C-alpha cells in the first residue's frame, strides 16, 4: 500500500510540476508578465492550501474509499482546461481545479500512509514523499519533450495520463474499503493512540516552530521551483528546454533528499534532521546567486538534497504531537506549504518585474538561516501508548 500511495503522489506531483514547467510556454502564448504568472501561481496554491486542512478534518471524521479518485478527476479537468486556455482567467480556472485535486490527494494519501506504516512513520512518509518528489522531477522533462516543442494544447496528453493514474488507485480503494468495513463490523480493533509526554503549551509552541520552519523552507523553494527556469534563461541565456533539464536535476535531488530524511529521523531523532536540513542549506543558498551556470546547477542539487530531507521529519514530528488528528495535521502542513509558496510566488514575481530575478535570488538566499529556530524544539522521545482507543476517524 505504501508503494501504491507513493505512486499516487508521483502522478499528482508530476502534474503539478508540469504546470510550473509550462509557465514559459503560457507566458509567451498569452503575453503575460511575471506579476501575472505570480497571480496564476497564487490562485493555484491557494486552492490547494486553504482547502487542505478542511479536507483533512473531513477525512478524519468521514473516511471514504473514493476520495483519492475524486481528487485525480479534478486534476484531469484542470489539465484539459489548461491545454485550451486562451486567457489568463481561463488559466486561473484551470489551475484552480488542479489545486483542488492536490488539496484532496495530499492530506488523504498522507493520512493513509500513516496508518499503513506499521509504526515506522518516518520511513513511510519518506516513501510517500519520494514518490511525489520523483513525479515532480519528471514533470519538467515530460513538459520539455511534449509541450515545449509542440505547444500548449499538448498539455491534454497529461489529462490522458491522469486516466492511468485513476486506474492505479483501484488497489488503494479496495484495501481502504475493506479496512472501513472491518472496523464497522468489529472484526478488527481500533488502533491505540501513541502520545508524547509534553504539556499542551509546549505542544502548541512546537507546532508554531514547525510552521515557522515550513515558512522558511517553502519561501525559498518558491524562488527555485517557480522561477528557476526563468532565472537560467535570463542570466545565462539557455533555451527553455535546457532550463527544464536543469529544473529536473534540482527536483530529482529533492527526491533523493526526501528519501533519506525519514529513515534517518526514525533512527537518530527528527529534531536533528530538521535543524541540520534547513540551516544546512544556508551555505549553498548564499553562494548560488554568485555562481556560474555549472556551479548554479551543482549548488541547486545540493540545496535540493539537504533542504528536502526536512519535510518528512517535520510532518511526522507534528503528527506525533497530535496523534488523533492525522488528517488535520497532514492537511495543515501540506496546505501551509502550498499557501506560503503561492503567496511567495506572487510577491517574488512582482519584485522580479520591478528589480530582476537575480535580485530575488540574492534576497531569498538568507531565508534558510531561519532554520536556527529548530534548536528550540523539544527532544521528543518515542510516543507512549495511551490506554484509550483512537477515534474511528483516526483509526482509519
Give the pLDDT score at 9: 87
Q: Indicate yes or no: pTM above 0.75.
A: no
Collapse the DSSP code of 123 into the 3-class scheme (helix H, G, I; strand E, B; otherwise coil) and give the result.
helix
Q: Which three cell numbers stand for residue 307?
A: 533542504
CB 28 within 8 A of CB 158: no
Mean pLDDT, the chain, whole residue set: 80
pLDDT at residue 386 in the model? 42
Task: Give the rounded distance of the alpha carbon of 100 from its chain centre.
Answer: 14
Grid coordinates belonging to 343: 503567496
108 pLDDT higher than 90: no
What pLDDT score does 287 carry? 93
> Which residue, 329, 314, 216, is CA-closest to 274?
314
Counting the structural domains of the chain, the total is 1
What are the beta bridge partners of residue 385?
194
pLDDT at residue 189, rounded to an integer: 55
Residue 186's pLDDT is what? 62
Task: Report d(CA 167, CA 45) in Å as an integer.
Answer: 26
CATH number of the domain that 100 lies in? Answer: 1.20.1250.20
pLDDT tens digits for range 22-68: 877 888 778 777 778 778 877 887 787 777 888 877 877 787 888 88
Does 382 have pLDDT greater than 70? no
Question: Hey, which of 183-187, 233-237, 275-279 has the most confident mean pLDDT?
Answer: 233-237
**What is the percent of the chain where pLDDT is above 90?**
5
Closest by Cα among 327, 379, 277 to 103: 327
In which domain, by residue range, is 318 found?
2-395
The pLDDT, as a whole number, for residue 286 is 92
Average pLDDT over residues 241-257: 81
What is the structure's pLDDT at 190? 54
Q: What is the 3-state secondary structure (H, E, C) of 55-84?
A: HHHHHHHCCCCCHHHHHHHHHHHHHHHHHC
Amino acid at each position: 500500500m505504501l508503494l501504491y500511495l507513493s505512486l499516487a503522489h508521483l502522478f499528482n506531483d508530476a502534474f503539478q510540476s508540469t504546470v510550473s514547467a509550462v509557465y514559459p510556454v503560457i507566458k509567451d502564448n498569452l503575453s503575460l508578465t511575471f506579476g501575472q504568472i505570480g497571480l496564476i501561481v497564487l490562485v493555484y496554491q491557494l486552492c490547494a492550501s486553504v482547502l487542505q486542512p478542511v479536507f483533512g478534518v473531513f477525512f478524519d471524521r468521514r473516511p471514504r474509499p473514493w476520495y483519492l479518485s475524486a481528487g485525480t478527476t479534478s486534476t484531469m479537468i484542470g489539465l484539459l482546461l489548461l491545454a485550451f486556455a486562451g486567457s489568463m482567467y481561463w488559466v486561473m480556472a484551470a489551475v484552480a481545479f488542479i489545486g483542488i485535486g492536490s488539496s484532496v490527494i495530499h492530506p488523504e494519501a498522507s493520512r493513509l500512509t500513516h496508518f499503513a506504516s506499521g509504526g515506522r512513520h518516518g520511513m513511510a512518509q519518506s516513501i510517500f514523499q519520494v514518490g511525489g518528489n520523483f513525479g515532480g522531477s519528471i514533470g519538467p522533462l515530460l513538459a520539455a519533450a511534449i509541450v515545449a516543442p509542440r505547444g500548449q494544447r499538448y498539455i491534454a496528453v497529461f489529462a490522458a495520463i491522469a486516466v492511468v493514474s485513476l486506474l492505479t488507485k483501484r488497489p488503494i480503494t479496495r484495501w481502504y474499503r475493506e479496512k472501513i468495513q472491518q472496523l464497522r463490523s468489529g472484526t478488527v480493533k481500533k488502533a491505540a493512540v501513541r502520545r508524547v509526554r509534553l504539556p499542551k503549551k509546549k505542544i502548541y509552541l512546537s507546532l508554531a516552530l514547525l510552521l515557522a520552519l515550513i515558512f522558511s523552507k517553502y519561501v525559498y523553494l518558491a524562488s527555485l521551483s517557480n522561477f528557476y527556469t526563468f532565472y537560467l534563461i535570463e542570466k545565462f541565456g539557455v533555451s527553455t528546454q535546457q532550463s527544464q533539464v536543469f529544473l529536473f536535476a534540482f527536483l530529482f535531488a529533492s527526491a533523493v533528499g526526501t528519501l533519506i530524511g525519514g529513515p534517518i529521523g526514525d533512527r537518530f531523532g527528527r529534531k536533528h534532521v530538521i535543524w541540520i536540513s534547513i540551516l544546512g542549506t544556508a551555505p549553498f543558498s548564499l553562494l548560488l546567486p554568485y555562481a556560474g551556470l555549472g556551479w548554479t546547477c551543482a549548488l541547486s542539487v545540493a540545496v535540493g538534497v539537504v533542504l528536502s530531507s526536512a519535510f518528512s521529519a517535520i510532518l511526522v514530528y507534528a503528527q506525533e504531537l497530535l496523534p488523533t488528528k492525522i488528517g488535520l495535521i497532514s492537511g495543515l502542513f501540506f496546505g501551509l506549504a502550498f499557501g506560503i509558496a503561492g503567496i511567495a510566488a506572487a510577491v517574488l514575481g512582482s519584485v522580479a518585474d520591478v528589480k530582476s530575478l537575480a535580485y530575488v535570488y540574492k534576497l531569498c538566499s538568507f531565508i534558510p538561516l531561519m532554520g536556527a529556530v529548530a534548536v528550540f524544539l523539544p527532544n521528543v522521545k518515542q510516543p507512549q501508548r495511551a490506554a484509550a482507543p483512537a477515534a474511528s476517524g483516526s483509526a482509519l
